[in-house]
With several copies, the nearest count.
Chain A
Amino acid sequence: MAEQTVIEAVRQTMLAEMKRDDSVIVLGEDVGSRGGVFLATDGLVEEFGENRVIDTPLAESSICGVALGAAVNGMRPIAEIQFADFVWPAINQLVGEASKVRYGTNGVKNAPMTVRVPYGGGVRGGLYHSQSIEVLFAHTPGLSVVAPATPYDAKGLLVSAIRSNDPVIVLEHKRTYRLVKGDVPEENYSIPIGNAEIKRPGSDLSIFTYGLMLHYSLQAAEMAAASGLNVEVVDLRTLRPLDEETIAESASRTGKALIIQEDTPAVSISSEVAAIIGEKCFFDLDGPITRLGPPEIPPMPFSPVQEAAFMPSPEKILDAINKLAQI
């Protein structure tokens, strides 16, 4: 059991899966000798050669379309989108095509492909290196979407994604890459897609969150504990399908639901979590279903001052906890 960063867990997992299974290949921009701009693929081309670690032309639609074609012909491609902000040209191949391969062929074909998408802000990325892009993927039947926030989950969910016989979008928060460290067992394990996890049990109020905000929420929960509030923190981990059972159980048990996200709130993951709770837990709640997110402006300013003002922070989360707890 070694302590690893998130990015190292991602890299080691790909290394291990590529060793285990010849059909696993990696493709994307700068994934070869550069090792990826975040070094997620560092050393892979040296280990597996240019046939299995492919530096593609700068063209995301073809990265995903080629991955899809290779997937239906026996490969298990892992496509890397360099930054989430650049996934938009590939939407047609992912949302339009990959999601419907199995359904549209009545099961004759399937597409075992993984798309890794580094996303999120707080990295001085400005409008085009900070985006959260989960909404459309999480909306689309036929796709699975995972968003691990810890090195342990990054490995376990990436293994599940690679071995899945259907397309999986893996959202990796860029800010967690080197910030978050944790123990990662060396042996093989996987985490089933579709399971949320209670990362901190509590009884007074439930926070539902994912990605970087998990860590901020855990910090806020610690701070709240100091004033005697016992806050539960649920890490959604999978954004499609959402784990309705765990969500509903937690909200019903604590009676108060606070949903935290970095993405802008309108029509988002937090909307869906709120809708699930509003439908399933109505009679058990004793406070409004509360959401905390950034303002409805394009995410997110390059200015460090404004970036900090844009992002939810442990302090803002603590405020929201206190406000909701008082109701």
Chain B
Amino acid sequence: MSATANQSSKTSNTTGRLSGDRLVELYRTMVLSRYLDERVWLLNRQGKAAIAASAQGHEATQVACIEATDPSQDHYLIYYRQFTAMLALGTEPEEMLRGFLAKEADPMNAARQFPLHGAHPRVDLFNFSNVIATQLPQAAGVALADKLKGSDAVTIVFFGDGASSQGDTHEAMNFAGVHKLPVIFFCENNRYAISVPLENQMGIESVASRASGYGFPGVQVDGTDVLAVHEAMTAAVDRARAGDGPTLIEASVERLLPHTTDDDHTRYRSADDIEKMSDRDPISIMSELLKRSDLLTDSQDESIHANAKKRVNHATDTVDAEPYPGVESMFDHVLEGSANGGNS
């Protein structure tokens, strides 16, 4: 897929529906994400961030997916691994770090929840809980509301291969299929649910193949391939906006790091499995693609890296100095108008 896309980009300096400039922009976000992600792990090792899940390995998929959508109207039900997607949707590195460091100004949840949980005040991006797969029926509901309102918006809901086993996933896809809702089920399949490999999760190879059981298309794409993901997503978004119903997209990616900062994947992954992953690092793949397509020079690449690092350093310094929340605010927003949801 990359190869073909690559060719077309050589001739037109756009690749599929993506211009060369946009491609470089996406790469920039990916690199920023990688640096920020690494920083967060460092902050965890320093005892400053309690826990972190990483998007390393998922960056290409996430930027390409978001690129095919319209943040001014669409809805995004993310899960904890949507680090890059949040940046692609305009979340600032400072905002991300506030979540990890549990600072008062955390925009998503004011330090009540794990990072990447809560709701964003500017884009309609949210993740109510850490409970796997609950977001899928919710996404069907969001899309149902748009259908009733006659809105043009599309709902994109993200989940992992592990989430595909939950009953909620089935119920959501079934409901969306019955009502032909404008929702895209986007599965980032990294072949592991924490330590449980795909073959212990399902008796089949591909999550996307289940879509036919709900009456809508399922597509499997290489999640390290920005062009392939973007193309599949564009088709799905067009389909949804045209009122033709849901699509299930499954992007195959690698989880380059352990499940979270609390995990040690050498307990359950073979050395060989871990070793082989590096071939599928989306940052190198994208960098090579851009260079082969004459969209990026070595020195431009270096400056993208340098800028990302600077940006991350700056954000870290800023947020590190910010205050933690006080005690009183923990009583807010239990119910409307309540500073206390108590029994009185």
Instruction: List residues of chain A with CB under 8 Å of any chain B CB.
Output: 25, 29-30, 32-35, 37, 51-52, 55-59, 61-62, 64-75, 77, 85-86, 88-89, 92-93, 96-97, 100-110, 124, 126-129, 141-142, 144, 164-166, 240-242, 244-245, 265-266, 295-298, 301-306, 309-310
Contact = CB atoms under 8 A, between A and B. Distances in A.
Contact of B111 (A61, A86, A97, A302): A302
B206 interface: no
Interface string B106-129: 001111111001111100001011
A85 to B, nearest CB: 7
A251 to B, nearest CB: 16
B81 to A, nearest CB: 14
B162 A66 contact: no
Interface residues of B, number: 76
26 contacts: A57-B171, A57-B202, A58-B133, A58-B165, A58-B193, A65-B168, A65-B171, A66-B137, A66-B140, A73-B75, A73-B141, A73-B142, A74-B145, A92-B131, A96-B129, A97-B128, A97-B129, A97-B138, A100-B128, A108-B118, A108-B120, A124-B51, A241-B343, A242-B343, A244-B343, A304-B102
Contacts, number: 282
Contacts of B201: 57-58
A58 B166 CA distance: 6
Contacts of B171: 57, 59, 61-62, 65
A128 B344 contact: no
A105 B334 contact: no
Contact of A66 (B119, B141, B333, B336): B141
Contact of B334 (A56, A61, A72, A142): A142
Contacts of B112: 103-104, 106, 126-127, 301-303, 306
A166 B121 CA distance: 19
A58 B189 CA distance: 14
A128 B114 CA distance: 8
B130 interface: yes
A43 B333 CA distance: 37
Interface stretch (B34-42, B217-225, B291-299, B324-332): B324-332
